[in-house]
Structure 1
């Protein structure tokens, strides 16, 4: 039995995976959604250097999990990629769902597509927190009004300290068995960091014809892809 550890991206807690988790459990897998410090029910927990990496590693070790497929969505690809290195032989595969991937010494802010000053300015203007997405950011993302409402109901502003935390990698990420899931409605091509990851013999690219939050828009399809990745 594969043990899936599911980590949501910015703003979201572990409950965003509920429909995916149901699908994976029906296929016989263990499923363990993780809520990161500073969001959701853990919004009061302090966030500093490597906090989100430690959240993930400590949960895997606390539960005594092995044969782990570690899944990170969006922002959480950065701490997930670092945690994957630290899991050693507990790790079977790491899966990035339309995610950022870590580069040693770089952070989510430093790699922001509009430039680091653009995102840092938004954080500074909101007391160090990343405000929830506005309605326009959901346009063209294959989500119904009901699904958007569900997203916002379960979301909390994201701690900027995590977004600006530089990644620490002891070896090239491409040495890990990895699957990257690209959601085509959020842009057809992976970025340069992802492209480098996929040059590895252990890397594979899978596409979904949906938006950036497939655990909401296409949970059954995502569960099937994760099940197949576990068998890779």
Structure 2
């Protein structure tokens, strides 16, 4: 649908989509956002979201400052977002979104072929992904996985259920998070890093091992990988 510019009219009646579980957007080249701010409080049931091949898409979940959400944070039951082929995507989650919307049900995330995407998560969203099991990122412009937020100290990240982590052909990737932190990956079984040539330090157990001008891709306190695949990397 090359002419469609928006999916939802801003006059959508409240509770219009109470049972919507799956949303799939493909080949809508004039679409700029998938889920606008005025719809966030109405989506009670979405579990699967796919967005692909939309040339103008810039943000998946939008939160406009002029249309704040009222009351307590909205909890979206989203489990499996798949995002691919979005060359102009700037962010998946609006930078203010995490303060009013929770994504604690996320289990599997796949992002690929998004060259304008420089980071994937605001720090507070990534910190709360305790149910996440799989994370796959391929062929994106990501320089760091987690975007730091001024005035928000994040000393550590805990991923008790994450079993598979794959980074492929992320040519700008240098680190997970560019502030001192620790990470826990007790269930990790598969770690694949392929074609990430700007990563100079793959992993370090102790912060004092790291040169001040460098950051490791993983600063870990607990990890038990059974399969590790490293390819096309330098200075490791």
Higher relative contact order (CA 8 A, sep 6+): 1
**Structure with the higher fraction of residues in helix conformation:** 1
TM-score w.r.t. the length of structure 1 is: 0.30
More strand by share: 2
